[in-house]
Amino acid sequence: MKGIGIKMKKVTLFTDGAARGNPEGPGGYGAILQYVDGSGTLHEREFCAGYKKTTNNRMELLAVIVGLEALTKPCEVVVVSDSKYVTDAFNQNWVDNWLKNSWKTSAKKPVKNVELWMRLLEAMKPHQVGFTWVKGHDGHPENERCDRLATSAADGDILLDDDGGALV
């Protein structure tokens, strides 16, 4: 996937993940980047992919990661997600606590999905990122679009590139 070099520094990234309840089964994730270019024109890019052997939390993380990794220039990014897991991890400083505790939630309980959290932290590095939670399935148009993207990806292994075209 080629990156998007955005001239304006503010980006909104809407994300969602879909799993089918079986850690051995399919899942999918979707992300929509909304940004304004240097001429003031609003643009959108959609990304989605199917993923095997997964859980919903993995899908939510991948949705954020794929959006952030598409950016090639430092931006101010607001991630809009219906995942409390993702938004609380940053808004309630869970990630900072996990880092201090060597990726453990307690003395004996390891954090799940550490490899994805590390990839997310790497993708965030050049950007100023904030996280906003929205209630899922509440009619929020971008959130609903992300849900449809993620569900389609989970159901059919659909993969969209940054031009919105299907990759075979």
Q: Which residues does the annotation mark as catalytic? A: 16-17, 60, 82, 137, 147
Tell me the two tokens of residue 128: 């100023």
- CA–CA distances in Å: residue 121 to residues 74, 95, 117, 136: 14, 9, 6, 24
**CA dist., res. 51 & res. 149, Å (int):** 13
Phi first, then psi: what are they for 5, rounded to 5°?
-90, 110
**CA dist., res. 74 & res. 5, Å (int):** 9
